[in-house]
């Protein structure tokens, strides 16, 4: 599996790029909203500059911020031209109207990362429409099966409008990712799964084992991924033993 970093923070991005283990960067409007306010193009331009300095050629996903199909298309084409980065992917959310935009962008040579996918059906439709990446939201898929008041009301409302659209196993991210991988390998091998919505280092591991090509990870999880208490133990033992030998 390939590891991407999921952030818009310049310091976090530079720190990861210096270590050389990431193969891409994903951003979204919520992540950008956490950063000091500036022009959108200016901030994205700074990220591109960091990529070119440390790891030119890695993937970089930038998301549109509209639900209107016309605006989505305009933003996508503007971003693709403005940032002048060959490995830029435009993130477009999954949806009935959005599938048309995904198809049009892909036919015009724009790489599309279809985001906010929660089901096998959504991911496969996006890949069929031409998406280069399909982003499945691991923890949010799991959350869909919770029975808290808010989620249950949303789920029941959806199923009332679309009877039979979901089964209980559709709330198991292992099942959703693994079965999506089977479908893509069989029918749409040029599309890759990005598993997002990682909350723990275990989520990262499990998403990779389920078959995600790429895991996009919030930087707060990297220390846990790189660390292990037994590593600390054995390294300390080596250094202690060597220090004793040197006396």
Residues that are catalytic: 91
* 196-to-3, 45, 204 alpha-carbon distances in Å: 11, 23, 9
Q: Is 86 helix (H, G, I), strand (E, B) or coil?
A: coil
Could you tell me if 243 and 33 are in contact, meaning their C-beta atoms sit under 8 angstroms apart?
A: no
Query: Between vectors from CA 147 to CA 143 and to CA 152, what angle results, nearest 5°?
Result: 90
Over its C-alpha atoms, the chain yields an Rg (Å, rounded) of: 20
CB atoms within 10 A of CB 239: 10
Q: Is 173 helix (H, G, I), strand (E, B) or coil?
A: helix
**Longest CA pairwise span in the chain (Å):** 76
Q: Quote the distance between the C-alpha of residue 104 and its chain's center.
A: 22
Could you tell me if 30 and 8 are in contact, meaning their C-beta atoms sit under 8 angstroms apart?
A: no
Pairing of strands 59-63, 88-93: parallel
């Amino acid at each position: 599996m390939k590891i991407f970093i999921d952030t818009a923070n310049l310091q976090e991005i530079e720190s990861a790029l210096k270590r050389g283990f990431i193969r891409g960067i994903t951003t979204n409007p919520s992540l950008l909203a956490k950063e000091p306010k500036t022009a959108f193009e200016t901030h994205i331009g700074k990220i591109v500059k960091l990529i070119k300095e440390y790891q030119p050629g890695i993937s970089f996903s930038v998301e549109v911020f509209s639900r209107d199909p016309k605006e989505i298309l305009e933003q996508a084409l503007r971003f693709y031209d403005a940032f002048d980065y060959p490995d830029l992917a435009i993130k477009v959310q999954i949806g009935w109207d959005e599938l048309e935009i995904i198809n049009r962008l892909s036919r015009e040579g724009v790489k599309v990362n279809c985001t906010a996918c929660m089901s096998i059906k959504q991911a496969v439709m996006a890949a069929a429409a031409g998406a280069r990446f399909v982003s499945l939201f691991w923890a949010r898929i799991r959350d869909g099966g919770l029975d808290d008041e808010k989620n249950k009301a949303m789920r029941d409302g959806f199923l009332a409008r679309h009877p039979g659209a979901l089964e209980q196993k559709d709330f198991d991210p292992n099942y959703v990712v693994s079965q999506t991988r089977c479908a893509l390998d069989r029918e749409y091998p040029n599309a890759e799964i990005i598993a997002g919505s990682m909350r723990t280092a275990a989520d990262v591991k499990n998403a990779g084992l389920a078959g995600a090509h790429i895991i996009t990870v919030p930087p707060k999880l990297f220390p846990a991924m790189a660390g292990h208490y037994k590593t600390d133990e054995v390294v300390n033992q080596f250094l202690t033993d060597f220090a004793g030998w040197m006396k």
